[in-house]
Every structure is written in C-alpha cells, then in structure tokens.
C-alpha cells in the first residue's frame, strides 16, 4: 500500500468517525433544518420570502462550518485518549497524518453541507444548479480551512471545556461578522466600517454569496469571488495543519501534547 | 545484525532521566522480556522503538533501521500492543482490526478469516458487535494484542500484555505470543509480572532506573544469584534476636518476616545449610513447623541485582 493510499485510509477512518457520532449529527441537522423552518413558518408574517431565499444558502454554509469544526473535537479526543499515539505507530509520515485529518475535516463539512444543499434546492427556487455543483469544490477548500482552524484550537486546548470555549468563540466571531444571516448593508448600518469589511471578505460570506448569486440566482460564477474564497481558506488550512504537526512533534519529544 | 539494538540510548522528560545510556540488544526470533517495576523506563524504551518518542541522545535501531531517522520504514516492520488499549471509540473490534490489517497490507483475500480466527482465539468473538468504548478493560486489552497478531510484524512489541486480563485469558495470550514467535517474529514483552516473564522469556533484561542491570536466560540469571537455593522456614513462635543472629552467621542471605516467625534464606547449598539451621534452632528451643526448599524466582533475581523488589517504587 502506498503512502497516499494509507493517507486516504486514515482520512476515511476519521471521516467515518464523524458520521458515527449519531447524536451530534442529529443535533446539527435539527439545528440547521429548524433554522429554515423557523424562518419559513414563524416569521412568515414578519419577513418576506426574499429573506428566506437569502437565509437558506447561509444555513448551508453555517452547516458546513459546524461540521468542519467537529474536526477539532475529534483531534482533541484523539490526543487525550491516545488514539493519536496509535496513529503514530502506523506506516505513514507525520505530514501524511496531518493531511489525512484536514482532508477528513474537509470531507465531513462538504458531505454534511451537501445534504443541506439538497434540502435548500428543494425548498428555494433555483436557477443555477450546475453553478451550485461547481461551487462545491471551493466549499470543500473552505471546509478544510475551517477544519484547520479547529485543529489549531484543539492543539492549544489543555482541557475539553477550553476547546469548546474556543470553538464557540470562533463560531460567534466568524458567523456573526459575516453575511451568512444578514446582508452586508445591515452590518454597515450598525457596525464600524472595518467590521463590515471583515464581514464582506469572511470566507463564509464569500461562499454564501456565491451560492446565493450563482447557485440559486442563476448569475454566472464570479471567479474573483471564488479566487478570494480560495485565498482566504487555504491559509487557514495550512495554519491548522502546521499547529497539528507541531503537536505531533511535541508528542514525539515530550511524550504528551 | 540484531533485530533490535540500542547504543547509549537516553531519554529525558524535563529534568527526569527515563533512560540513561541504555545498551540493549534483541536477537532475531527470540522473545526478550524486559522486567522492571513501574517507572524503570520500560515503556519509554518501547515508545522509542516504535517511533512515538524521539530519543534525547544515543541510537536505536530496529532490524538495522535507525528509528530516529527512518521512522516510517521502522513502522512498516513493527507492531505494538500498548499498555493502555487505544482504539476508535465508536468502531467495533472487527472494523478496528480491518483498519489495522489494511494499513499493514495484510492480504485482502485472507484478511477477514485471519481477523475472525484471531478474535475467536482471544475470546473476542462474543464481543464482536460491541463498540470499542463498551468493551471491558480486559476485552480492550485483548483487542490490543489481536492487532499485533493479525499484523504479524517482524518485530512485535507487547507492553504489559496481560494486565487487566483474567488468568485463563493470560495463558491464551501468552500462547499466541509464543505462536507468533514460532511464525518468525521477534518479540519484546515488557512486564512487571514474574509469572509472565517465566512463561515467555527466551532471555530477560532487567531494567532499573533507566539502565540495563543484567540480561541473560532465566536459568543463567538464577544461577548467578549468590547461593542458588531458597529455604523458607516457618517457626511456631517468633524467633529470638539471639537465634536470628546465629542463623545469619551460618552464611547466605537471611531475612525474617516482620512478625518474626517466618524466615527466608538464600543459601549456596540447602543440604548443608538446613541441618545447621535445625540444629541451631533446637539448641535455642525454637520449634520449626515447616521447611520449604525452592529455586530462586525472578523476584529473587531482581532483588539480587537491584536491591529492590518489582513492587517497590523505583
């Protein structure tokens, strides 16, 4: 078996772990679907359908975010339960292990958000299903970036509670300062200019925007937006991979993370 | 070429020396038992050999490959059963073994049969539908051993393979380890259990405070003890100080129990020493209730070479 197939093997094992956490999956799916339902039913009299059309692609991206951050939880558990040490005895390079984890994090995010995308395409009129499919590889890179960020947070967390605090902090900052749930104009109206700029270039905003405009709106794909999405996501994936690699190296030197 | 070789191997955790200039060899096809109390450096040595830990200084080689420089190559020929079982919590034993077997290129056509057979051999078959996180400590430990048995590596390492396993299970695991050796693997077993060492070892290395104290076959180690016979004597009443002094003057190494009515002596020839002891006891009016003559155990060997017992802290 080649190094590459071993890498995919480890990634697949970790990826399957994500879907074995049934209760977590149930919570994630119910949260995402209930967001759609609440907007569609409860707020029906308060908001118009345009907001629902705006929100649903955002929920797909928020789902991707939640699923990709689960990578950090799995890494944290593997570090503390010693499974990482088992991985370190397998015939695969340390860099291969790191890539496998980031890859499986990316896969978890994209597979989960693809389920949501199917639901979204069923409940919201769409004009660019091919565009939506073409955006998926870019969303995969975004997912690896978020997986990388959560790997970084897991690597610096001494305790499980601390990891959750970091992960929630990440969620609050990345989802709140974004155009996932409200348009950029709303942010500009209430928050200082620099915050609005951050929200505009937040990779979650870019992905949600691309889905709205091209996937559901039917506009041609804006390559500059997708390029910016890649440019914003890749450094996150690299920094997370680096942090995880440092942790594995620390284990080799000190015997513990 | 040795199957395993270390030269001046040292490992420090902060200011603590876990290994101190260890020189250690294992020959191809033998079962080497590393005997030492907790904290003697056994697990650190194994963690270095399986490339999880990097040595602070010195060299460690597995089948001639430097563990610090070519870790991936070492991992291709080596398998380890950890002291604490490590598995994917939400996987079943058979899927954990399938993952392990595929990572080590076990023939896919024979893989499932091998896994099933190993699970049956180690009495894991009944637990095949349980998730790893629901296995008992003993079952998880057996699964840890099963990984190495399925893998059949050139160098198989077992770190306290039968801790938490019941007596019947221990014997099964020991027999499977011997079987693995007979199939061509070189085996290292780290333990602080004398019975395990006696059952398995071709040779024993005694580790104490991160250093090799001695390495030899069990008969040679026992022969090396000053004396060679162990005499255990039970007295009806505690022995007087005078008799105790007199018995000590007869030669050998004599130890009295805290209660003062049991004595353990390591002597060169029991047939010479026992008549002198009985005569001295008779003269002092001490009544003997039983005398038992045995050969020294590995515990005695350990005591002889380190001045401490396997249960003592290092």
Q: Residues B208-262: pLDDT tens digits?
A: 999 999 999 988 888 777 667 888 999 999 988 888 888 888 877 778 777 788 8
Burial (Cβ within 10 Å: 0-12, 13-18, ≥19) of residue A81 = middle
Query: What is the structure's pLDDT at A254?
Result: 83
Closest by Cα among B152, B198, B209, B171 to B31 = B198
B50 to chain A, closest Cα gap in Å: 6
Which tens digits make up the pLDDT trace of B272-305? Answer: 889 999 999 999 899 999 999 988 888 888 887 8
Query: What is the structure's pLDDT at B226?
Result: 61
Are B86 and A77 inside 8 Å of each other by CB?
Answer: no
- Residue A2 sits at the chain B interface (C-beta within 8 Å): no
Residues 81-100 of chain A whose Cβ lies under 8 A from any Cβ of chain B:
81-83, 85-86, 88-93
Residue boundaries of the structural domains of chain B: 4-222, 226-295
Closest by Cα among B229, B255, B121, B216 to B175 = B121
Whether the per-residue pLDDT at A161 is higher than 90: the answer is: no
A87 to chain B, closest Cα gap in Å: 9
Q: What CATH superfamily classification does B226-295 receive? A: Reverse transcriptase/Diguanylate cyclase domain (3.30.70.270)
Query: What is the structure's pLDDT at A32?
Result: 76
Are A20 and B90 inside 8 Å of each other by CB?
Answer: yes
Choice among B42-51, B144-153, B289-298 with the minimum mean pLDDT: B289-298
Which tens digits make up the pLDDT trace of B89-105? Answer: 888 999 999 999 999 99
A153 to chain B, closest Cα gap in Å: 22
Query: What is the structure's pLDDT at A127?
Result: 82
State which H helix or E strand residue A31 sits in.
helix A22-41
Closest by Cα among B78, B124, B57 to B97 = B124
- Residue A253 sits at the chain B interface (C-beta within 8 Å): yes
Are A13 and B105 inside 8 Å of each other by CB?
Answer: no
Q: Are A101 and A67 contacting, i.e. CB atoms less than 8 angstroms apart?
A: no
CA A3 – CA A207 distance, rounded (Å): 33
Are A86 and B75 inside 8 Å of each other by CB?
Answer: no
Angle (nearest 5°) at CA A102 between A100 and A107? 90
Choice between B195 and B187, residue whose per-residue pLDDT is larger:
B187
Chain A residues in contact with B87 (beta carbon < 8 A): 83, 86
Class of domain B4-222: alpha beta
Among the partner-chain residues A13, A93, A255, the one whose CB lies closest to the CB of B88 is A13
CA A245 – CA A98 distance, rounded (Å): 6
Handedness of CA B138, B141, B147, B148 (dihedral sign): negative
Which of B72, B97, B105 best probes binding to A when mutated, by most A CB atoms within 10 angstroms? B72
**Chain A to chain B Cβ contacts (< 8 Å):** 66
Choice among A37-41, A160-164, A173-177 with the minimum mean pLDDT: A37-41
B191 to chain A, closest Cα gap in Å: 20
- Kindly give the pairing relationship between strand B31-35 and strand B4-13: unpaired
A256, closest residue in chain B (CA to CA): B53
């Amino acid at each position: 078996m080649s190094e590459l197939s071993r890498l995919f093997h480890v990634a697949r094992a970790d990826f399957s772990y994500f879907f074995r956490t049934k209760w977590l999956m149930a919570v994630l799916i119910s949260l995402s679907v209930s967001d759609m339902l609440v907007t569609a039913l409860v707020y029906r009299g308060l908001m118009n359908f345009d907001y629902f059309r705006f929100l649903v692609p955002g929920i797909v991206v928020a789902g991707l975010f939640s699923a990709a951050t689960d990578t950090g939880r799995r890494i944290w558990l593997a570090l503390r339960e010693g499974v990482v040490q088992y991985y370190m005895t397998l015939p695969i390079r340390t860099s291969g292990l790191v890539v496998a984890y980031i890859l499986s994090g990316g896969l978890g995010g994209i597979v989960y958000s693809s389920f949501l995308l199917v639901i979204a395409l069923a409940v919201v009129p769409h004009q660019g299903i091919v565009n939506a499919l073409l955006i998926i590889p870019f969303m995969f890179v975004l997912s690896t970036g978020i997986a990388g960020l959560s790997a970084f947070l897991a690597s610096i967390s001494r305790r499980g509670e601390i990891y959750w605090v970091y992960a929630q902090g990440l969620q609050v900052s990345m989802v709140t300062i974004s155009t996932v749930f409200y348009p950029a104009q709303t942010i500009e109206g209430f928050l200082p200019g620099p915050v609005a700029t951050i929200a505009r270039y937040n990779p979650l905003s870019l992905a949600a925007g691309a889905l709205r405009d091209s996937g559901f709106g039917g506009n041609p794909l804006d390559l500059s937006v997708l390029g910016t999405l890649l440019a914003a996501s890749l450094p996150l994936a690299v920094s997370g991979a680096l942090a995880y690699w440092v942790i594995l190296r620390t284990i080799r030197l000190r015997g513990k993370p | 070429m040795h199957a395993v070789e270390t030269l001046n191997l040292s490992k420090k955790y902060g200011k603590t020396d876990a290994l101190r200039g260890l020189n250690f060899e294992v020959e191809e096809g033998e079962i080497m038992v590393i005997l030492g109390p907790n904290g003697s450096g056994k697990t650190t040595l194994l963690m270095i050999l399986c490339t999880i830990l990097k040595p602070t200084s010195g060299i460690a080689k597995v089948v001639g490959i430097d563990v610090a420089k070519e870790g991936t190559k070492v991992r291709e020929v080596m398998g380890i059963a950890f002291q604490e079982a490590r598995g994917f919590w939400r996987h079943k034993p058979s899927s954990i073994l399938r993952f392990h077997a595929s990572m080590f290129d076990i023939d896919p056509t024979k893989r499932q049969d091998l896994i099933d057979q190993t699970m049956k051999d180690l009495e894991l078959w009944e637990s095949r539908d349980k998730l790893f996180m629901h296995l008992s400590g003993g079952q998880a430990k057996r699964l840890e051993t099963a990984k190495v048995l399925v893998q059949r590596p050139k160098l198989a390492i077992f770190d306290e393979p039968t801790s938490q396993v019941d007596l019947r299970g221990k014997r099964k695991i020991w027999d499977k380890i011997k079987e693995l050796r007979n199939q061509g693997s070189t085996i290292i077993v780290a333990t602080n259990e004398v019975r395990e060492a006696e059952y398995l070892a071709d040779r024993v290395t005694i580790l104490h405070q991160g250093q090799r104290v001695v390495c030899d076959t069990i008969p040679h180690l026992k022969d090396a003890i000053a004396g060679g016979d162990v005499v255990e004597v039970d007295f009806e009443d505690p022995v007087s100080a005078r008799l105790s002094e007199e018995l000590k003057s007869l030669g050998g190494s004599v130890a009295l129990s805290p209660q003062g009515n049991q004595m353990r002596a390591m002597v060169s020839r029991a047939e010479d020493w026992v008549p002198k002891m009985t005569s001295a006891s008779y003269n002092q009016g001490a009544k003997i209730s039983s005398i038992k003559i045995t050969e020294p155990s590995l515990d005695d060997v350990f005591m002889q070479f380190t001045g401490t017992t396997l249960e003592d802290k290092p």
